[in-house]
Structures are given as C-alpha cells and as structure tokens.
Amino acid sequence: MDDNKIIKTEYSAEMQKSFVNYAMSVIIARALPDVRDGLKPVQRRTLYDMYELGIRYDRPYRKCARIVGDTMGKYHPHGDTSIYDALVVMSQDFKKGLPLVDGHGNFGNIEGDGAAAMRYTEARLQKITQEAFLGDLDKNVVDFVPNFDETEQEPSVLPVKIPNFLINGSEGIAVGMATSTPPHNLGEVIDAMKACMLDENITTRELMRHVKGPDFPTGGIVTNKDELLNIYETGTGKIKLRGRVEFEQLKGGKTNVVITEIPYTMIGMNISKFLSDVAALVETKKTMDVVDISNQSSKEGIRIVIELKKDADAENFVNLLYKKTRLEDTFGVNMLAIKDGRPETMGLKAVLKANIDFQFEIATRKYTSLLAKEREKKEIQEGLIKACNVIDLIIEILRGSKDRNMAKACLVEGKVDGIKFKSKESRVMAAQLMFSEKQANAILEMRLYKLIGLEIEALINEHEETMANIFRYEDILERRESMAQVIINELDQYKREYGRKRRTAIENAGEAVYREKEVEETDLVFLMDRFGYAKTVDLGTYERNRETADAENRFVFICRNTGKVCLFTDTGQLHTIKMSDLPYGKFRDKGVPVDNVSNFNSEKETIIYATSQTELNLRQVIFATRQAMLKLVDGGEFDVSKRTVAATKLAEGDRVVRVVSLMEQRSIVLQTKEGFFLRFSIEEIPEKKKGAIGVRGMKLGAKDAVENVYFIQNTVETAIEYKGKQVILNNLKPAKRDGKGTKIRV
C-alpha cells in the first residue's frame, strides 16, 4: 500500500464510529461487572493473578506492590492506582458484604482515610475466594482468552459458585450508563437461588420471602419496604436509608443521641460532612438543643455522640437530622451488568436465573472433564489388573524383547516376531494380548513393588472407586435433577461456613416530621456599624446605651425577632436577612458581616438604606438615582421569599443615590455635583412597580449627576452645609419636576 495515500472519510461518521468503539470498550472491558461472577475486569484479573502467584489463604501475605505490578504487566494494562484501588475495596469489610481479599496493614477505614501506599501493605486471598471463585479453574470450566499482548492466557470469567453480583453489589460509571447494585445477605441470596432452581416459575414476590432486601455492611435501616418489590422486579429504583439511633439518658434530664450505624452512602468523607452539617444547624440556629458533638468511632464500630440540652425533645431533634443531613439518604438502584456480552438492566429473578444457568454450565464442563479423567484412569487400572493376572507372561515378553518398542508392539498388537519365549505356549498367549496404547505405556512404566499383594488389592479398590465416580458423574451429566442437587449441596456448604446474620433492618417508616419550636415574638433592635457588622440586642440594652448606639452605628431600628431586615444597595438590589440569622447578645459584641448572612457583596455594591420588612410593608418607598430617575413603590412589593431581588430597574451606568420610606416628607430636593438644586412636591413623583425605571426628576447637564437627595417637612426648617455654606432648603423656591433647578453660588 502506498504510504502517501490519503483516505477520505466523513468526519461525523468517523467520530460516531470511534466514540461507539470507545464507549463499548469502557462498558464491556472496564466499568461494568459480568452478571455471572459479579466482577469487573480489574477485579477478576487481580484475583486470578493472586491465584497464579500462589498467594492463597493458608500461605504468607505478599506485598500489594508485587500483586499490582504483576497484574498490570500480565493482564490489566492500565494505571497501577486503579488496580490497587480495586484490591483495597475488595478487602474492606465496610464496603463489601463478603470481602474477597485478606488485607494486612492499613487498608483505610470507614471514615474516609485512604489505604497506605501499596509498598507498605500486604494481601492474600480469602478462603471463600479460593474455594468459591477460583477453585475449579483447573477443570476446564471456563474459557481462557489471550491477554492484551497475547503472551498469557486469562479467564474470560471466573467460575464463581455463588451469586456474587448480588452479595457484594457493584458500582461503576461507564459511558452513557452506570451500575449501582446494593450488597445483599449471602444466606438469603443462596436460599433465593435454591428456590429459583426448584421452581422456574417462581415470582419476584415469592423470591422476596428469602431476600428481604439489601443488607449493607454498615447496617442501618431501609425505610421503604413496600417499594422494594417494584425495585427488584425492574432492577431500578431508590432505596431510602437511615442510620440507627439510640438514646442514652443522663443525669439531670439530659439526653445523648448516639448514632451506632450509618447509611451505606455515608461511608468515607461523608461522616465528617455529617459532623459539619450538624454544626451548621447549630450555627444557623436551626436547632438550639445541641451542647456538644463528638465522633467516638473505633474499630469496634460507629459511635457518634450528640449531647443535647436538658429537657430537649430528642426524637424531634433526630427528625431534624433526618431532614437536614445525610443521616437519611437514598441509594439509587440500577442493576446493570454484562449479560451475553451486552449491558442489561435486570431484576432479581433475571440475575438469579443468569447465575443458575452459569452454575449448570460450569458444572457440566467440570463433570465432563472429571468423567474424562476417570474413564482414562479406568482404562489404565483395568490394564494393570489384567497385567497382574498374567504377570509371568509379561515379564517373559519384557526379558525376550530387544527394545521398548518391540515389547509395546507385542502388548498392543500381539506381535511376537523377534521376541524370545521360553515355550510355544507363551508365544501363543502373547500373540493374543490386546492392551490399549495407554495400558501398554502404564504396564511398561509399572514398578515391581506394585506386584505386592496389598498393592494389587489397593489397585482393585481404586478401580471400584473409579467405577463409582464414573457412575456418579454420568448420572450428574445425564439428569438435571442430580446436577441441581450437587449445586444445592455446594451452596448449602457455603451458607453454613460463610453465612451471617442480617445487619440492615427492613421496615416501612413515615417521612420524618420536624416540629420547629414556636418562638415567642418580641421586639429586638437591629444595629449595623459603618463597617457592615450587624447584630441584634434587646430593647432594654439599647435604651441603656442609646446615645452610643446611635453614634457608632449607621443603621438602628426596631424589628420583630421573627421578621426580616431589608438592605437596599446602590446597584438597585434588595437583600433580606432573617433576624434569626443574626447574632443576639451583648451590646459590645462585634456582630457578623452582613456578607456572611446574605447575598450582599461589599466589594461590588454599597448599602444605602436598611429597614425592617414590617415597617416596609406599611410605607411607600422613594427611589432616586444619579441620572435623576425617581419613582414611588409600594413597600408590600418587597415582601418576597427570595434572599435577593431587583428593587428597581436602572439604565446603563446609573446607580441609586437614595432610598427612603415615605412618612411625613412633603417636598424633595435634588442636588447635583455642579451645584444645582431643584425643589418640588413629592406628589409629582408617580407610583410605579419595582421593575419600572421611573420618571426623570431633573434636567441634568452633559457631565452632571445627582449627588444628594434631601426631604423637607413643611413645618420643620431643614438646613444643610454645601461647600462650607449653610443652605436652608425651605427657602428654595418650589418648582416643578423635570426642571433645571437653581445654581447655588459659593
């Protein structure tokens, strides 16, 4: 082929083809388990490599670095991290209901601490892994395929004798699909598998008499028992989980809430996230009942202790934890696995059926292989027994033959030419020998001690045993009932040796209902200084420090403790803060930056007005901007549930100069940067919606802008200082809105 030849192809077609190839590679060869052995390729290859290296359960541990390196070099040409991570997970009893690897060293913990580096840790196979996963590999029970560089052979699937896909569960993300199967109880799954073998028409509901539901290694409580039937029929759904909580009564009426089991989804860093979430509930005043929280978990198990105040409602507090933290969580089920080379979502019965078919397949191959070996043994044993009966003749043939081939030809074909016999009778008898090729080889290799009487008797006993095995194997292969009984016997053995009690409780529980304590309404004083730090104090504290409070704070007003504070900014935004989110305490306490309790950003905007929601609802609000746009808005429009809304619409480059609640003001005075003052009646300002831009209040010069806005009460003299000169606003001549105004000379 010409190296310079350019092959033209449609870009979209090439992309589609390449993506499909990549997706199928990830789906089949990396991310999803095979329904037959419940293992992903990396897990299967790691276990097989340990088996090949001889790292058995009854032998010394070997360094994980050796296992990982050997697996990567022979079978899994991907990163060593992915192999070691898979090895670690297979050893963690808090993730796997049935750990497949016996780890020695630091293999991480339930709280999210990772395993030590692979050069420090050691591992070997668990006993059940060796027996139930790898035990019959030498009996031609599964197909072997070339590895990635065709220098080794690896099993396409392990001959697993238990439904590992259900027992250990599986999680994996492929391309366009994901698998998420919860772990189950070994004994329950085996009972269900036996029931399915004995009755092919069994229903999922009947199977669930055996499989009650998931059995997570972390325990916990499944709270939606009635929904499990649909989940197991379809293979998809959501399982609701709760941690297990106990109450410890202390002296003085105090109660400790003790979490002894966590939801499976809380494994790892989510435990520390739970602790921080509880602390956040206290900081945000969602609960005032917590005195202390501590994580006392150890190797013995989970123990998270929350100490409550005296006479606190412990059950109500636990309901709060269910609603606001991951103490109650959901486990998304999608029982997706590779079946017949394709990804398929299966229900409980379909998974069991696939495992049963696989068990019959490997049993058929196993006993076919064993039968062939027994028949071969039978042939040789019969030849040796026959040889013992005519041993004198055979010795005569051997002594009279020139070489091995001559003796073998006589034994197999009766050729006596060239062989020296002691008598004609011996020649005649030798010519009638008709041993098979294998029998002849066995006779020629037989040692003399085999002629001892006891050895001959042992040979006859072995032959009888071989015949019994042949009869048994033929019965197993010919009758499905016999094979089913053999499989059931093996399953019963695994259940007796490795079964354990259920850890996860299955029940129906109603939705957690948290009853918030009714707060007694009272008036508080809101204080915010010029640096943006806010706090609340009671009325008595404020009255005792009124002069200092008014002097040191930018905004001071009374607000209900159940109400909200409204902050208007120069960008036209309204930010609200619940009074309950603000610190309440002593007058000299610093308070909290309003940035921390609202969406206000002090770097981009400035607060120009603050008031209570209650006060706002009773008034109209006046807005004035740099470009002299004015409007009145009914305060009720700002009674919204959102933390931030647009309080007014602004033209490009415009900013709000003044926002104020309308009370007894009668006139408004606009003052520009260039010294123009315009006074007119507030009645000329129309009422608009908060989304309106307003009307022009004053004609401005090309580079002029409104700098200040003042309000006048008709009976009260209002004086200001402008560039060192006192200006009495009441003396300004009243004009009409949208005028140019009067320039004040200084």
Q: Which residue numbers are catalytic?
A: 120
Tokens of 71: 């697996």
Percent of the chain that is helix, strand, coil (3-state, to 5): 40, 25, 35
d(CA 263, CA 38): 23
Q: What angle is formed at CA 625 by the lines to CA 623 and CA 626, rounded to 5 degrees?
A: 165
Q: What angle is formed at CA 299 by the lines to CA 290 and CA 162, rounded to 5 degrees?
A: 115
d(CA 388, CA 394): 9
- Rounded to 10 degrees, the C-alpha dihedral 70/75/81/83 comes to -90
Strands (E), 570-647: 573-578, 592-593, 607-612, 620-625, 629-634, 644-646
d(CA 726, CA 38): 88
Residue matched to tokens 């199928």:
24
State residue 88 phi and psi, 5-degree precision: -65, -45
Answer whether 158's CB lies under 8 Å from 44's CB. yes
Answer whether 645's CB lies under 8 Å from 595's CB. no
Read out DSSP for 156-205?
A: SS---SS-HHHHT-EEEE-SS-EEEE----HHHHHHHHHHHHH-TT--HH
Which is nearest to 661 in space by CA: 680, 687, 693, 635? 635
d(CA 237, CA 213): 13
List, edge to edge, every strand of the sheet that includes 533-538: 553-560, 523-529, 533-538, 592-593
Tokens of 129: 């892994």
> DSSP assignment, residue 75?
T
Nearest-10 crossing angle of helices 348-389, 437-445: 60
* Cα Rg, the chain, nearest whole Å: 43
Residue matched to tokens 């670690």:
88
| The one-letter amino acid at 286 | K
Read out DSSP for 379-412?
A: HHHHHHHHHHHTHHHHHHHHHH-SSHHHHHHHHH
| The one-letter amino acid at 538 | D
Answer whether 181's CB lies under 8 Å from 333's CB. yes
The answer for residues whose C-beta is within 8 angstroms of residue 268's C-beta and 6 or more apart is 110, 111, 112
| The one-letter amino acid at 111 | E
Phi-psi region of 297 (alpha: psi -120 to 50; beta: other; left: phi over 0): beta
Tokens of 398: 């051997």
CB neighbour class for 626 (10 Å; exposed up to 12, middle 13-18, buried from 19): buried
- The number of helix segments (H) and strand segments (E) in the chain equals 22, 35
d(CA 657, CA 371): 97
